[in-house]
Amino acid sequence: MKKYGLIGYPLTHSFSKKYFSDKFTREGTSDCQYDLYEIDSIKSLPEIIASQEELIGINVTIPYKEQVIPYLDKLDPACKAIGAVNCIKLTSNGLVGYNTDYYGFKTSLTNWLGEERPQALILGTGGASKAVCQALKDLEIPFLKVSRNPDPSAKDTISYDEIKKSPDYLAKYPLIINSTPLGTFPNVSAMPDLPIAELNKGNWYYDLVYNPTETAMMTAAANMGAKTKNGIEMLHLQAEAAWDIWNK
């Protein structure tokens, strides 16, 4: 039996097990299994690997995309630039880290934007935001990061309070990308602290959250006329990229 899985905490929101289980059924792959490993500390990773001899690949989700790096033996060159890992391949030479979020997000975003390249606000500065930043750099889309407590020395990061004081940010940076878990099941009422009344049809709101399929913030943005998109296409694209890595 070939085993694959997902580490993170919590994992109540994850569709990964269903996605891969459905994939195995659809493709008639009877010798594969995908499991969830909900761990409250990244220190549990070596124990999981030691206890699962048939494990071939692991997905990594919140909050371990950065914390997992010291446990890896090698990083894919592209992954080094991003600074976060969401995919691990177990090899005879150790654990190799990759980032398929980058591919999934970049492909999904360009599918949505077409030829448009609006300047962007990236909500959040965690592991998921690092893949988003790299994708926007490669697409030559200028951006600012938004944090609740930005580092005063970080010139590319502003606070939510600054946006509320100067709503013009939402016009100057019409593409808003939520890379935080805000709004994820079961806390579906949570929303980024943005001046929603300032949104309009000139805005694009991309939410990396995919469960629920429409977050409270997506609904609020759409009600103001903004175009919205969730993270389900990104999820599918990054999952297939991980599958290719594990089996190449």
Cβ atoms of residues 90 and 56 within 8 Å: yes
Nearest to 194 by CA among 159, 143, 227, 225: 159
- pLDDT for 242 equals 97
- pLDDT for 13 equals 83
Q: Of how many residues is the chain composed?
A: 248
- pLDDT for 54 equals 95
Write the DSSP assignment of 160-179 as a string of letters.
Answer: HHHHHH-TTHHHHS-EEEE-
152-172 pLDDT tens trace = 888 899 999 999 999 899 999
- pLDDT for 144 equals 97
- pLDDT for 20 equals 97
Task: Label the pairing between strands 157-159 and 143-147.
Answer: parallel
Give the span between the Cα atoms of 210 and 231, in whole angstroms.
5
- pLDDT for 167 equals 83
177-210 pLDDT tens trace = 999 999 999 999 999 999 999 999 999 999 999 9
Give the span between the Cα atoms of 154 and 159, in whole angstroms.
11
Instruction: Write out residues in the chain with pLDDT < 70, as ranges.
Output: none
- pLDDT for 152 equals 81
- pLDDT for 159 equals 96
Look-up of token digits 């220190």? 43
Structural element, H or E, at residue 158: strand 157-159
Domains and CATH numbers, the chain: 2-99+235-247 (3.40.50.10860), 102-233 (3.40.50.720)
Nearest to 98 by CA among 69, 126, 139: 69
- pLDDT for 94 equals 96
Write the DSSP assignment of 62-115 as a string of letters.
Answer: TT-TTTTGGG-SEE-HHHHHHT---EEEEETTEEEEE-HHHHHHHHHHHHHHTT
Radius of gyration, CA atoms only, the chain: 18
CA angle 137, 142, 145 (to 5 degrees): 90
Q: Which residues are catalytic?
A: 65
Cβ atoms of residues 104 and 159 within 8 Å: no
